[in-house]
Amino acid sequence: MKIVNWILNTINNWRSYFIKLGDSEWVSNFEWFGWSLTAIFGGLVIFLIVKLKIVDKWYKTTTNFLSAKASQKRIIDKSWQKILARLKKSDDTNLRLALIEADSAFDDLLKQMRLPGESMADRLKYLDTAKISNIEEIWRAHKLRNQIVHSPEYPVESLMSVLTKTPFYTSSSIVITNTCMPQS
């Protein structure tokens, strides 16, 4: 019973000590000092945010990012219109150039998607039919582009059959929608 009384007395003494401590001027001064430091450091944080233009940089970065996506779609559409104009001419040189330019435009999209690889073929390996439904046609068109670049005498008839399917444009639209346009 002595131990229990000793514990109760000790707890009561500590309680009264802390109650008296809360009423003392020292604690009041310490509390005032703590609030002062909070105000000083809070003001310093606000000053640094304004001085370093953190919010302004974030706003500009976000705005540029969103507007770049919209302008990127316009750039791709413009380059595709150029490719379509080449296809309408239907001569040998323009057909070859149309395929090469379409391949290059699609490779640019793959780079913007940040797919790893040194060549378009390396980047295409990261795509499958779940991501782009006509990936096999894109592979065929890319291989055809390589044949055209490396052997200029490639027959135009084979070229026309590939170009009329326009796999790059269909896939480019999918890629633009999924990666370049802001999500709402």
* Same domain membership, residue 102 and residue 33: no
Q: Is residue 153 part of a domain?
A: yes
Q: What percentage of residues in the chain have a pLDDT greater than 90?
A: 5
Q: Name the residue with higher pLDDT: 180 or 162.
A: 162
CB 103 within 8 A of CB 83: no
The DSSP secondary structure of 111-140, one letter per residue, reads HHTT---SSHHHHHTT--TTT-TTHHHHHH
For residue 165, pLDDT beyond 80:
no
What CA–CA distance (Å, rounded) separates 184 from 181?
A: 9
Same domain, 83 and 173: yes
The answer to whether residue 180 scores a pLDDT higher than 70 is: no
Whether residue 96 is found in the same domain as residue 170: yes
Look at the block and give the residue holding tokens 């703590």.
Answer: 34
92 in the same domain as 41: no
Tally of structural domains, the chain: 2
In this structure, is residue 86 part of a structural domain? Answer: yes
Per the structure, the complete domain to which residue 114 belongs is given by 72-180
Split at pLDDT 50, 70, 90, the class of 41 is: very high
Residue 135 in any domain: the answer is yes
Whole-angstrom Cα distance, residue 57 to residue 60? Answer: 5
Contact indicator for 76, 176 with CB cutoff of 8 Å: yes
Residues 84 and 160 in one domain: yes
Q: Are residues 81 and 171 in the same domain?
A: yes
Rounded-to-integer distance, Cα 123 and Cα 109, Å? 10
Residues 113 and 43 reside in one and the same domain: no
56 part of a folded domain: no
Alpha-carbon gap, residue 137 to 83, rounded angstroms: 18
The reply to whether 58 falls in a domain is: no
pLDDT tens, 127-149? 887 878 888 888 888 888 888 88
